[in-house]
Amino acid sequence: MLLIAEWVYTYNIKEVPIMSNLKISDIKAFWCGASPFTKVYTNEGISGIGENVIHHEGILAGQVELLKNLLIGEDPMNIERLWRRMLNATAFEYAQA
């Protein structure tokens, strides 16, 4: 098995699939005082927490539902794919005059 450093330098990272049995199983938002956080759960009991910048409860709930629809079932180790999915779902191009 290659170490990550060996793997990055040995292969073109965009061509090598990331091999992981982890799958995102749920995403929830919670508050710690006045600060919102988002927690991502996986099928193997591993979870991650990130600070959120949305401070409106309704918008935060909508954001989490959008993320659930996009990310549940995805491999959390494939960060590039997840980032692109979220960007493509939330970025809008404005019509040119």
> Is the model more confident about 88 or about 29?
29
Q: In which domain, by residue range, is 70 found? A: 18-79
pLDDT at residue 90, rounded to an integer: 81
Sheet with 47-51, edge to edge strand ranges: 24-32, 35-42, 47-51
With respect to residue 90, please indicate whether it lies within any of the assigned structural domains. Answer: no
Choose among 30, 24, 31: nearest CA to 86.
24
pLDDT tens by residue, 21-66:
899 999 999 999 999 999 999 999 999 999 999 899 999 999 999 9
Choose among 69, 81, 62: nearest CA to 14.
81
Percent of the chain residues past pLDDT 70, beyond the cut: 75
Sequence-distant (≥ 6) Cβ neighbours of residue 72 within 8 angstroms: 23, 24, 25, 26, 27
With respect to residue 24, please indicate whether it lies within any of the assigned structural domains. Answer: yes
Q: What is the mean pLDDT of the chain?
A: 82
With respect to residue 91, please indicate whether it lies within any of the assigned structural domains. Answer: no
The tally of domains found in the chain comes to 1
With respect to residue 48, please indicate whether it lies within any of the assigned structural domains. Answer: yes
Are 71 and 82 a contacting pair, CB within 8 Å? yes
Are 27 and 39 a contacting pair, CB within 8 Å? yes
| CA Rg value for the chain | 16
The model carries a pTM of: 0.71
Residue 2 has pLDDT above 60, yes or no: no
Residue 13 has pLDDT above 80, yes or no: no
pLDDT at residue 91, rounded to an integer: 78
